[in-house]
């Protein structure tokens, strides 16, 4: 058995893991990273990046179909648009490949040794890796667990054949005639909307009373409207039961009544679970918080010298949270004084239209006992939104009533994901309503709605 020693070992080369390794390498720490598949993890390979590529392709094809139907308000027209999904997937795979290579290059540039294989804990300082050329033992002074998460499987609808997860959905070579999506969260709606635009008849099956339950109803209302325009059927308070290959239908129960949903494919998106099995975690017996590994404000676990970051540590399961944690842990291992002191972690839902949330919602602020001011400005009154056919939605700002400190910012609308950094920066910098209202925003841009929402909260919006 080959043995190597290092100061820092990172298990998992997803967004959190590779950032931890790169930063550690930059700081001169002898670092090894282990990954059993490809660099970039779920996000780069079968999640964030490929899904956004498919969403973009679907939107472009939908525009072509609208032009061909004569319903295009810009006066554009064409005939018989088509899509070769296999070609689209190959384009998506090319992007993923370029980014894989980029991450591998950055690790090498930082002096990080990469080991490909399945890791397994022997003890709190030792990990064995099953590689193609045999077992390799790695001894490390500090270890970062960055194993991520995996799709949740339904007992009565296990993955296989027509029952697929988001991973398989992003690699389909043809557009299914009908698609049932189990779960009305952000993953289900993002992919369901994309396939509807590609030409599938899509049905959403959600067990709760409404879609996107993690967002307030005002933010989700434009999404519900758009789903209807795209011909997507939505069944809430509906539980999926089983699938019949003979009839090509999903059997479900809607408010106690049995229904059948036509489904060439069934996409299960009922959540993700932390990957805590298969790599010997039982050998070190870390404290848990439910299914997740418990950490403190420095991402330290209950065992000295072992850290955990990203999805394996709990919500929010977001790549950018994992990346920030990874950077912080690398600096802590290097001897820097760091702790988790972020005021907010922005979240983006890439539906049509998009949703962005940063900081506290109105309900969350009120629940904390804070008296608040709210300013909301609609894109219907924004010139840039009008000229891009993107008038649905708004920007909303939540601030303290006494000193006008901004507590939260939310938006729903076309392309609002690109406003997320401005929203988070305002909160992290401790901005007040007057700061945002007094900052010149370029005209004509959608960002003006941000300034106008602050003016509205102050009682003197200019364009509404």
- The sign of the dihedral angle between the CA atoms of 153, 155, 159, 165 is negative
Phi, psi of 392 (to 5 degrees): -70, 140
What's the chain's length in residues? 464
**Cα angle 155-180-190, degrees, rounded to a multiple of 5:** 100
Cite the active site residues: 443
Question: DSSP letters along 183-239, please?
Answer: --SHHHHHHHHHHHHHT-EEEEE-SSSSSSTTS-HHHHHHHHHHHHHTT-EEE-SEE
Dist CA 151 CA 168 (whole Å): 11
Give Cα 455 distance to the centre of its chain.
Answer: 31
The CA distances from residue 92 to 53, 98, 174, in Å, are: 6, 10, 14
Dist CA 97 CA 293 (whole Å): 31
Closest CA to 144 of 289, 314, 327: 327
């Amino acid at each position: 058995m080959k043995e190597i020693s290092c100061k820092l070992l990172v298990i998992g080369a997803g967004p959190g893991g590779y950032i931890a390794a790169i930063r550690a390498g930059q700081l001169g720490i002898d670092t090894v990273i282990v990954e059993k598949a490809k660099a970039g993890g779920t996000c780069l390979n079968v999640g964030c990046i490929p899904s956004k590529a498919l969403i973009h392709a679907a939107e472009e094809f939908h525009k072509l179909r609208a032009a061909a139907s004569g319903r295009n308000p810009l006066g554009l027209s064409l005939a018989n648009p088509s899509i070769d999904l296999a070609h689209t997937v190959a384009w998506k795979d090319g992007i993923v490949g370029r980014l894989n290579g980029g991450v591998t290059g950055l690790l090498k540039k930082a002096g990080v040794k990469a080991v490909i294989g399945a890791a397994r804990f022997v003890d709190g300082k030792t990990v064995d890796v099953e590689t193609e050329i045999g077992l390799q033992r790695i001894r490390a002074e500090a270890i970062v667990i960055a194993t991520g998460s995996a799709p949740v499987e339904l007992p009565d609808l296990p993955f296989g054949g027509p029952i697929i997860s988001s991973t398989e959905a992003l690699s389909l070579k043809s557009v299914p005639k009908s698609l049932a999506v189990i779960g009305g969260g952000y993953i289900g709606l993002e992919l369901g909307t994309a396939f509807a635009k590609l030409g599938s008849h899509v049905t959403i099956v959600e067990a709760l009373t409404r879609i996107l339950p993690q967002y307030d109803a005002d933010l989700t209302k434009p999404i519900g409207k758009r789903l209807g325009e795209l011909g997507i059927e939505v069944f809430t308070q509906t539980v999926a039961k089983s699938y019949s290959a003979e009839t090509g239908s999903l059997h479900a129960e809607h408010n106690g009544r049995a229904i059948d949903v036509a489904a060439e494919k069934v996409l299960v998106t009922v959540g993700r679970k932390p990957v805590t099995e298969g790599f010997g975690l039982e050998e070190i017996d870390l404290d848990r918080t439910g299914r997740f590994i418990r950490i403190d404000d420095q991402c330290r676990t209950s065992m000295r010298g072992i850290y955990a970051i990203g999805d394996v540590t709990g919500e929010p399961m977001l790549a950018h949270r994992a990346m920030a944690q990874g950077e912080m842990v690398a600096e802590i291992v290097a001897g820097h004084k760091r702790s988790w002191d972020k005021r907010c972690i922005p979240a983006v839902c890439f539906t049509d239209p998009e949703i962005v949330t940063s900081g506290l919602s109105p309900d969350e602020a009120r629940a904390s006992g804070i008296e608040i001011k709210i300013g909301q400005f609609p894109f219907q009154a924004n010139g840039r939104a009008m000229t891009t056919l993107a008038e649905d939605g708004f920007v909303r700002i939540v601030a303290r009533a006494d000193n006008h400190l901004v507590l939260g910012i939310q938006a729903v609308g076309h392309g609002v994901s690109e406003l997320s950094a401005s929203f988070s920066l305002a909160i992290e910098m401790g901005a007040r309503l007057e700061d945002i209202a007094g900052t010149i925003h370029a005209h004509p841009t959608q960002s003006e709605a941000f300034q106008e929402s602050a003016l509205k909260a102050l009682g003197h919006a200019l364009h509404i």
